[in-house]
Amino acid sequence: MPIAYQIIVCGSFVPDPLQTLEPVTTPTGPALKNELMLPAVLDPWAGHALFEAANLARQNPGSKVWLVSIGPKAKLQQVMMSVAQKVPFELVAIDGPAGGFTDASEVAAVLAESIQAIPGLEKDRLLVFGGWESASRGAGSTLQMVGERLGICDQFQGVDKLTANADGSLQVLERIEGGRHQVSTCSAPPALLGWATGNLPEPPNNPQVGMLNMRTVMPALQKAKPVKLAGEGLTFASVSLPRQRRETKVVKDMSPDDIARDIVAWISAE
**Whole-prediction pTM:** 0.80
Q: Judge contact between 43 and 136, C-beta under 8 A.
A: yes
Q: Which residues contact 209 (CB under 8 A, 6 or more apart)?
A: 84, 85, 86, 87, 88
**Contact (Cβ atoms closer than 8 angstroms) between residue 231 and residue 17:** no
CB distance 136 to 229 below 8 Å: no
The answer regarding whether domain 6-226 maps to CATH 3.40.50.620 reads yes
Kind of pairing between the strands at 64-70 and 90-95? parallel
Classify each residue of 192-224 as buried b or exposed e, where b means 16 or more C-beta atoms within 10 Å of its C-beta.
Answer: bbbbbebeeeeeeeeeebbeebbebbeebbeeb
Number of Cα atoms under 13 Å in the Cβ half of residue 188 = 9
Domain locations in the chain as residue ranges: 6-226
pLDDT at 32: 72
Q: Exposed/middle/buried for 18, CB within 10 Å: 0-12, 13-18, 19+? A: exposed
Instruction: Flag residues of the chain having pLDDT under 50.
Output: none
pLDDT at 137: 58
Residue-level pLDDT at 253: 85
